Structure 1
Amino acid sequence: MASQNKNIYSVSSLNRAAKSLLETSLGVIWLSGEISNLTIAVSGHWYFTLKDHSAQIKCAMFRGNNSRAGFTPKHGQQVLVRGKLSLYEARGDYQLIVETMAPEGDGLLKQQFEALKCQLAAEGLFSEALKKPLPEIIKRVGVITSSTGAALHDMLSVLQRRDPRLQVIIYPSQVQGKGSALSVASQIALANARNECDVLIVGRGGGSLEDLWCFNEVEVAYAIYHSQLPVISAVGHEIDVTISDFVADLRAATPSAAAELVSQHKTFVSTQLTTLVTRLKQAMLSTLQHKAHRQSVLKQTLLQHDPKHKLQQQTQHLDEISLRLQHAMHQKLQQQQSLTNQLSNRLAQASPAHKIDIERQKQQQLKYRLTQAMLASLNHSEQSLQHQIQQLNAFSPLATLARGYAIVKDEKGKVSTNAAELTVGETVEVTLEKGQFNATVI
């Protein structure tokens, strides 16, 4: 049973093994992408996602490294970062531990140069063992450069002055701008196919890093590497270094220097010595690069066992817990605030003041209804009174008097309605609409 279980991992051991594999497989890498989901923890560490149009990767940049960045990234910003792949064991998250960061465009060409240089060196394109020596006797020289450039004129002048017998075959090529790398690579392939020269000079005059960039392209590097003819790289000035210089069998500081290398002169022995010294320097450089790579691998191995690395893991875990706690506290506060608002609403609904307001509104409504009822009753009474007054007026003796009639009362005060009942000489009281008077019956 023990032998059957020897390949069974625990989750922790699996994550630890995956972490070790990630950190040692690629080493330090450069990565370009867009910043998103940036979080700056209380500890000062940066956690963010780096993405392009179709993929993304989680990243962490610890305070000791981000303090040297010189800027604070923003959401949506395009950046270039340098770091190493790792795995956050607590969650099993694949992530990039960022060591340096710069806005994309600042030194991007240099970073691409270093990345391609490391890639081709790892593939063995710079190996000294594969470099071909120049022929002892050179009769024909192939030149791959611009047919209108100053570099071609300089090389032809040197060759004519030093060794007029040499035949020069020119393979005109575009050496700057879009498509120039494919142009140079195709001319190298053409020269090999024709096999009509003893050595090739590939290069151009000086310029900016961008101007010389086609000699840093992978197409040119592979074309030089696969060339059966010895290739001399002669790009720019002495201080200019390109990928083609490392891949070529020999590097010349300038195009004119390349012409001197392939032409014999009274200083031939000195030239040969210079060539050997150059190759020795390249061998030393290659050895130093190999040692530097080995040192980098050992450094990465040491970092894996460095307590600082584990401390970073613990710090990242602490930051994660801190962020979760802040989120939980925020949710709890929102819940309590919501509960408080509910209780306040219920209290407001149960408050006597609310009921008093309701009763006051009812009282106002009843008062209004009573007022309206009283007004309606008064209007009705007034209308009834007017009607009765009209009826009373219709039967009132005053109304009769107003039409010119009079009321006659005898001495006893009795209203007389029959003249026959009155006696001659009797005094009667006559009432008119306006005023009254006594009269004697005749």
Structure 2
Amino acid sequence: MDSHDNNNSSPWGLAAPAPSARIAPKIWPVGALCLAISDALQARFHTVTVEGEISGLTKASSGHWYFSLKDASGQLRCAMFRRAASLVNLPIQEGDRVQAQARVTVYEPRGDLQLVVESLRLAGQGNLYEQFLRLKAQLEQEGLFDSARKRPLAAIPAGVAVVTSVNAAAWHDIMTAFRRRAPHVPVLLVPALVQGQEAPASLRQALQKLYQGIEQGTLRRADGSHWQIDTIVLARGGGSIEDLWAFNDPQLARLIVQSPVPLVAGIGHETDVTIADWCADVRAPTPTAAAELVAASAQQLGQQLSHRQDRLAQVMDRQLLGQEQRLQRIAQALSRPSALLARHGSRLDQYAHAMRLAAQSQLQRTAFRLDQLQLNTPRSVQKSVQQHSQQLAQAELRLRMLDPQRVLERGYAIVTNPAGEVVRDALQAMPIEPLHVRLAKGSLRVQVLDVKE
């Protein structure tokens, strides 16, 4: 019999091979493994673009941003360092859906998978939103958003023109609000496209025709009566940024600020903002809110009228009370004229006494000042007066010596012809001509007998 005691033999009598030596497994340090995984991820994915919702946004004082990107299926931690964060020009906030360009890495201290974000932009908007921001900055520099030019709305509008699509829900919402709050306010629909490539031109054309009709008074109702429009509402329902893009047209923005009457923009939902909203005189969050801003409800008008009536009554009561008190004072004064005259007489006596005292005091002060002037007059002044007196006496003596009367007293005479002219030459006289001779005492009338040279 064959023996089967040998464990190394095979059932067929062959020897079994000897067992081979085992290879020892590699032992990884944790940090080294994290680094290896990070290198592998970066080599596999390099730079990726990830879309998700911002969650847990923290903007550190160092300038770094930390947040998570999540969607319905997963969540990734993200870090955006100061250099990259400083280049973000968008108002990123909690809950925004964004597209992040990032590198996939592992944060070794915690072993967490994370994204190192290099750039961010809002998802679903992207280039359109960036274009919106550039356009907004340009038009703001042109002064289209200046609050100083914005006008208040009429308290009670005479007529409202609504520029929107005839089939839009915004038109239905606006009319519902007007019928509920102010059915007395007439509303004119100015139809225009509010979405699509042709919408900007359609909106501009509608506004231009409306402006012209308001300025020229050519807007007529079906019965031929005149429309009095003092408020314009530019409206559209909500939608994506692409749907509302017609209201970001720069030519439309420049046309809005030229409106001859206050213009209200009620475009989209409360979170939607367009260039037209910034240019309008008043921005409403929705079309319905625009109608409510334009037309106060009958209840509000009643409250305003009641308040003004109360204020008017208070003013009238104060005026009447004041006039009544004044009449009472006058009646009391007229009922006792003697007392009134006595008071006035006493007052006049007081005034007269005060005037006498004032006059006496003034005279005393004037006399005192004259005395002081006489005492303080310098001797040089007195000497100057004497010298001038002597000069005047000498001038008077010279004038007296030149007096024609003195010449006549020395035996001379003054001869004048009938014309009153002084005869200085014999040839000035004519024979038989009468002459007048003035002497020192008296005068003579003579006749020329003969003329000799």
| Band the TM-score falls in, shorter-chain normalisation | 0.3 to 0.5
**Structure with the larger helix share:** 1
Task: Calculate the TM-score normalised by the size of structure 1.
Answer: 0.38
Task: Calculate the TM-score normalised by the size of structure 2.
Answer: 0.37
